[in-house]
Structure 1
């Protein structure tokens, strides 16, 4: 596997809003064939989301976009840097360091992510990610995220049609204005999938090569 290709389940929800009880998923946005649900659970009083859409391309092509770490800042909002720290191609495991560029006056965030990619019995591909404690040095004026989880799922609907689902949450730590929180939890996954819709037709992914663990 080329070094520039690694799983990047990129920084799904980075918002928090404490509530006292669980809430059922709410369809917050439905536009351009993209649906975004927001919800909360009793065990995790942090805004979570699920977003899904379909692309008229083979499953492998959609996965290849998410695996191309070098181009991630081109289509994932707020991602300023993504760096591969380690990988195990046989196990399908990896560790990433990522920096989020938030607008002034908010401080930037960073996170170390441990992920695993698998091909399921039904032919779908899953990428699961969690924040981990790591000795990667913390940077001045950047807040380290320690609570993060996120998944990608790619399901083949036809030879040239794939359903893409992304879910996740993160506690952004520190103070973030409510206006930014409300915008981020709904708009970030929507904007990400809209940009992915363009990126997926980049000639770079015309003949995608996935790691052996996904074949």
Structure 2
């Protein structure tokens, strides 16, 4: 009896340890092949990491990620997006609108994207807010805090791993249901939509 009583809390402890990454992200949900990790930050900010796999080639993934004008077709709550002229394929600034339900004001991200191809053909795409890069858009609140990273890793049998990490305060001042919908459900839906787009469109 006593060994069993001792083993049970140890089992719970091991489960919790496995559910947390080395950099403090905790597994929140795992459904349909999409894993969502969260990490609370200071000042009402939150970091979210979403991981899944897709059957696709690296060039196909990059082509979709670089096609900002079509973000509204798969990026959750995105209603407009475009790349500001003057950049390069690996270093550019883009604008993306976030549609919120009435009576909340829509939001907007202006950020710089830098892309590098590392060892084993892993594509890393870092995103950092540059809110002053273009004049404000009327009727939208521009996010001052926004950073992200896509890591696309080729796997065997024609698969890739898609990992997207976002840190933002987009939910500040919003009710808890909408904050959760934007900060956790949104990235999960976006990555799932990307996977489906990769696998169903030529």
TM-score (norm 1): 0.76
Aligned to 1:4: none
User: Which position in structure 2 is the counterpart of 1:58?
Assistant: 57
Cα 1:150–1:38, aligned 2, differ >3 Å: closer, same or farther? same
Q: Secondary structure at the match of 1:62?
A: helix
* Residue 139 of structure 1: how far off its partner (Å): 2.6
Equivalent residues, number: 180
Runs of at least 4 residues off by over 6 Å: none
2:160 & 2:148 partners in 1: Cα distance?
19
SS at match of 1:134: coil
Q: What secondary structure, in the 3-state scheme, does the structure 2 residue paired with 1:24 have?
A: coil
Work out whether residues 109 and 131 of structure 2, in 8 Å CA contact, stay in contact via their aligned partners in 1. Answer: no
Q: Which residue of 2 aligns with 1:86?
A: 85
Alignment match of 1:165 (pick from 132, 155, 163): 163
Instruction: Give the gaps of 5 or more residues in structure 1.
Output: 1-22, 207-215
Quote the offset at 1:202 in angstroms.
Answer: 4.9
Per-residue Cα deviation, 1:34-61 (whole angstroms, up to 9, x for no partner): 000001246x651111100001122222
Q: Which residue of the partner structure matches residue 181 of structure 1?
A: 179
Worse overlay, 139-148 or 174-183? 174-183
How far 1:159 moved relative to its partner? 4.9
1:68 is the counterpart of 2:67:
yes
How is 1:16-35 mapped onto 2 (pairs within 5 angstroms)? 24-35=24-35
In the aligned structure 1, how far is the partner of 2:27 from the partner of 2:142? 30
Q: Which residue of 2 aligns with 1:147?
A: 145
Q: 1:142 to 1:123 in 2, by over 3 A?
A: same
Q: Give the corresponding residue for 1:138.
A: 136
TM-score norm. by structure 2 comes to 0.81
Higher relative contact order (CA 8 A, sep 6+): 1
Shift of 1:158: 1.9
Report the aligned-residue RMSD. Answer: 2.1
In structure 2, relative to structure 1, the CA distance for the partners of 1:140 and 1:70 (3 Å cut) is closer
Q: Find the residue that maps to 2:28 and give its secondary structure.
A: strand
SS in 2 for 1:88: coil
1:67 CA displacement = 1.6
Cα deviation 1:72-96 (Å, max 9, x = unaligned): 1001111111121134337x10011
Q: 1:65, CA displacement in angstroms?
A: 1.7
Q: Is the CA contact 1:75–1:192 (under 8 Å) kept in the aligned structure 2?
A: yes
